[in-house]
């Protein structure tokens, strides 16, 4: 029975992915900054571990406690919308610290055991915002685009060791990345003259019928984990499937 470690499992994509793999009989290591076992079904195949991917000591402790990891899913992230002009550089660095450097650090922490076994899968969850440009998410897009470039290069680097590296790209759906994880970071990021422009962007989503669901991402991760072809990118969500081919 294989072991999967998923970051950012307290809600959204990570929670749905943990539930999906648990239902399929996998051993699931669900990590989150503040452990909340109550959000997942009770199971002997489930472990909930504390993990802050921006702290090296937290990563080391979680990886050591997890034991052998067959699949790593780098899902934890922070969303951000706002005018770049009004975004403090401190906020930009905070987004990159989690979305980009956190992903790199987790990946680096598990590579040695996968390389030694000559087996394993690393799945990085990014966004179609890194593929199809969208206004008012410049910082978020930059953080995810960096992960896209990192992943595509790493896939070549690790294939000689039998380790597969994949990308899952959710659409523009109303994910928790832009809700519960954003907090007060967007305060003041829509000043004049951006307010009217932003309202127009928000209005364009009204009535849209195609959105990415958390379960779409879970299924996308499932496909990526089991894919043994050279395919790197896996779209997740109806809007992703329509947006990317039309770019």
pLDDT digits 0-9 by tens, 185-235: 777 788 888 888 888 877 766 656 678 889 999 999 999 999 999 999 999
CA distances from 23 to 19, 109, 123 (A): 6, 27, 19
Residue 146 has pLDDT above 70, yes or no: yes
Integer Rg of the chain from CA: 18
Q: Is the peptide bond before 193 cis (omega within 30 degrees of 0)?
A: yes
DSSP 163: E
Residue 73 is inside which H or E element, if any? strand 71-74
Asked if pLDDT for residue 183 goes beyond 90, the answer is no
Cα gap 122→136, rounded to integer Å = 29
**CATH code of the domain containing 210:** 3.40.50.720
194 is catalytic: no
Rounded CA gap, 245 and 38, in Å? 39
Write down the H helix ranges in the chain: 12-23, 56-66, 89-96, 103-117, 138-159, 194-204, 214-226, 238-243
User: Residues 205-216: pLDDT tens digits?
Assistant: 665 667 888 999
Lowest mean pLDDT among 99-103, 128-132, 173-177, 219-223: 173-177
Q: Give pLDDT, residue 176.
A: 46
Short-list 149, 200, 168, 140, CA closest to 71: 168
Q: What angle is formed at CA 130 by the lines to CA 114 and CA 232, rounded to 5 degrees?
A: 35
Kindly tell me if the per-residue pLDDT of 177 is higher than 50.
no
Summarised one tens digit per residue, pLDDT across range 39-97 is 999 999 999 999 999 999 999 999 999 999 999 999 999 999 999 999 999 999 999 99
pTM of the model: 0.92
Name the nearest CA neighbour of 180 among 36, 23, 6, 21. Answer: 36
The total number of structural domains that make up the chain: 1
Check residue 162 and give its pLDDT.
Answer: 98
Burial classification of residue 172, based on how many CB atoms lie within 10 Å of its CB (0-12 exposed, 13-18 middle, 19 or more buried)? buried
Write out pLDDT tens, residues 109-144.
Answer: 999 999 999 999 999 999 998 888 888 999 999 999
At residue 193, the pLDDT reads 86
User: 192: domain range?
Assistant: 3-246
């Amino acid at each position: 029975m294989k072991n999967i470690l998923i970051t950012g499992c307290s809600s959204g994509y990570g929670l749905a992915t943990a539930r999906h793999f648990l239902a399929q009989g996998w051993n699931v290591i669900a990590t989150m900054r503040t452990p909340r076992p109550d959000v997942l079904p009770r199971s002997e195949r489930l472990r909930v571990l504390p993990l802050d991917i921006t702290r090296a000591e937290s990563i080391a402790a979680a990886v050591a406690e997890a034991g052998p990891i067959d699949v790593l899913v780098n899902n934890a992230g922070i969303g951000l919308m706002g005018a770049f002009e009004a975004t403090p550089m401190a906020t930009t660095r905070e987004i990159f610290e989690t979305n980009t450097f956190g992903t790199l650090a987790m990946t680096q922490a598990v590579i040695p055991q996968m390389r030694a076994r000559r087996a394993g899968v690393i799945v990085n969850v990014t966004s179609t915002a890194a593929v199809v440009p969208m206004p008012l998410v410049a910082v978020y897009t930059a953080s995810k685009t960096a992960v896209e470039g990192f992943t595509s290069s790493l896939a070549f680097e690790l294939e000689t060791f039998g380790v597969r590296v994949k990308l899952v790209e959710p659409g523009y759906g109303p994910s928790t990345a832009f809700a519960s994880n954003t907090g007060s970071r967007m305060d003041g990021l829509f000043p004049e003259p951006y307010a009217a422009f932003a309202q127009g962007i928000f209005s364009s989503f009204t009535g849209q019928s195609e959105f990415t669901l958390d379960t779409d991402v879970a299924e996308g991760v499932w496909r990526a984990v089991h894919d043994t072809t050279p395919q790197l990118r896996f779209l997740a969500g109806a809007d992703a499937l329509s947006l990317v081919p039309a770019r």
